[in-house]
Amino acid sequence: MKPESIRHRLMLLIFVSISLVWAIALASSYRQATREVSEWEDARLAELAQILALLDQADLITLANARIDVREEEKGGDPGASPDDDDDTLPRDALFQVRDENDRVLAGSPQLVALNAWDLPLPTESGAQDMTLGGQSWHTFTLRNTALKHDVRVFEPANTRSDLVSGVASRIARPTVIALPILALLVWISIGFSLAPLRTLSNAIRARHIHRLDPIEIERAPTEVRPLVDAINHVLSRLQHSFERERAFTADAAHELRTPLAAIKVQAQVALAETDVSLQRLAMQRVVQGVDRSARLAAQLLLLARLDTHETISAVRLVAASIANDAVAANEHSARQKNMRVAVTGDMHAEIVAEPVLTGILLDNLIDNAIKYGMDGGRIDVAIEHTIEHVLLIVRDDGPGVAAADLTRLTHRFFRATGNDASGSGLGLSIVARIAEHFGAHLSLGVGIDGCGLAVQIAFRHATGLSPTHSVIGTPADA
């Protein structure tokens, strides 16, 4: 399908609009000219009737037998006349009849007898009238009760081919017909000049190198084009930010994967070189641990990539306590190894709006971090609280905590707080922050249990805003 041209569309709309307006104006002018000519012809007949009223009977009889040509001008009558000048090409002989006060005919044109108009009754009042005589249209004017007590009636054929009206219309239409092509050319040039900034913008985009993402600058961009330029620059800025983020993400991911892969390689080489079975077994166990760590890191990277693409993930009503208990059970073995106590407290009936798998990953990361960076024999509290607008999921521990300077960077990818020797990729809280953001929740960091450790709070919106038809995952009984 051929793409539509703005220039052609504007040209068509403007040309059609102007033609329509001019056609209406021409039709209105033609009607006005017709009315004016009709009034002028009536006035001319009235003048002729007044002249006839002043003549005596002898002059009237003489005039009745003569020809009264009421044409304004004859074709070629003026030596300097142009073929386009107004003229009446058909004869327009006026007929008349004069009667006395007793309705006796004093004089009249003999042609009225052939037209069966000799004995026509006179109108009761003076004025113009149209009638058909002998199959032809006639204009008549009747003058009653003159100074000589005569009634005068004048007849004039309605010459439909008179070019008086058509000449007026022609003089109105001729400039229009000549002006339309000139106007169309001027409009075409004007539209092209007005659309020049769009061509400049398209040329600037076409000439750009694929790696250039800096803003496009167009001098003196019109008001209508500026929003388009700003929108394109906004997209370029977002693309540049996205590419920079992806480059950093790729570099950091490669760096983080290099460490466990190098450790796996070293342990595999040890296992190959070692003859002691127990040492071989230990090396292989460390290889398995390295593989597990790499698999977990890869899974976290894939999850972040999924969240970063803004993939639509449906949300449902969840019982927060049920998800929290599942996450605690999943990390029970790790907590037991460090002799740590993990408890779910608070409102066991509170519901949030989220997705169960991602919410489980969120709590799993928070509890895993609390276990990993907490102290042996410590405590972890998974609290469920609610305010007027939100349901709060809070994971607190009583470990060494995080320095105040590191709190603002704690949710950055691959960032690990100083002073912690526990293994990790630095992606846990970054994933938590992205999941919370995806469901419109707010993440905040604070101090943990008894002024020690770290507290991570996620404020979810209440599930009361959803209709009852939404499914509820988990029940208070699960808690």
What is residue 408's predicted lDDT score, i.e. its pLDDT?
65
What is residue 85's predicted lDDT score, i.e. its pLDDT?
46
Cα 226 off chain centre by: 16
Mean pLDDT of 226-242: 80
Amino acid at position 199, single letter:
R
Q: Which residue has the higher pLDDT, 315 or 325?
A: 325
Location of each CATH 3.30.565.10 domain in the chain: 314-478
First to last CA, the chain: 61
Mean pLDDT of 315-340: 86
- Strand, helix or coil for residue 444: strand
- CA pair distance 433, 377, nearest whole angstrom: 28
Using 50, 70 and 90 to split pLDDT, how confident is the model at 153?
very high
pLDDT digits (tens, 9 = 90+) for 43-98: 888 888 888 888 888 888 888 888 777 665 444 444 444 444 444 555 567 899 99
- CA pair distance 112, 98, nearest whole angstrom: 12
What is residue 473's predicted lDDT score, i.e. its pLDDT?
52
Task: Judge contact between 96 and 152, C-beta under 8 A.
Answer: yes
The CATH class for the domain spanning 6-72+88-169 reads alpha beta
* pLDDT over 70 percentage in the chain: 75
Task: Judge contact between 70 and 96, C-beta under 8 A.
Answer: no
What is residue 271's predicted lDDT score, i.e. its pLDDT?
81
DSSP 359-425: HHHHHHHHHHHHHHHS-TT-EEEEEEEE-SSEEEEEEEE-SS---HHHHTTTTSTT---TT--S---
What is residue 311's predicted lDDT score, i.e. its pLDDT?
57
- CA pair distance 286, 264, nearest whole angstrom: 7
The two tokens of residue 139 are 């204009």
pLDDT digits (tens, 9 = 90+) for 242-292: 777 677 666 656 655 665 677 778 878 888 887 888 888 888 887 887 777
What is residue 154's predicted lDDT score, i.e. its pLDDT?
92
pLDDT digits (tens, 9 = 90+) for 136-148: 888 899 998 777 7
- CA pair distance 154, 140, nearest whole angstrom: 5
Q: What angle do CA 260, 362, 382 make, to 5 degrees?
A: 115
pLDDT digits (tens, 9 = 90+) for 451-475: 888 888 989 887 665 444 444 555 5
Mean pLDDT of 336-349: 88
Using 50, 70 and 90 to split pLDDT, how confident is the model at 134?
confident
By C-alpha distance, which of 309, 307, 318, 311 is closest to 460?
A: 318
- Decide if pLDDT at 375 tops 60: yes
What is residue 477's predicted lDDT score, i.e. its pLDDT?
42
pLDDT digits (tens, 9 = 90+) for 192-209: 777 777 777 777 777 777
CATH 1.10.287.130 describes domain 226-307 = yes
Q: Which of the residue ranges 113-117, 222-226, 231-235, 337-341 would you say has the lowest mean pLDDT?
A: 222-226
What is residue 405's predicted lDDT score, i.e. its pLDDT?
62
Location of each CATH 1.10.287.130 domain in the chain: 226-307
The two tokens of residue 94 are 């006026």
Mean pLDDT score across all residues of the chain: 76
The CATH class for the domain spanning 314-478 reads alpha beta
What is residue 4's predicted lDDT score, i.e. its pLDDT?
65
What is residue 83's predicted lDDT score, i.e. its pLDDT?
45
In sequence order, what are the beta bridge partners of 131? 138
**126-135, 168-177, 260-269, 412-421: which is most confident:** 126-135
Location of each CATH 3.30.450 domain in the chain: 6-72+88-169
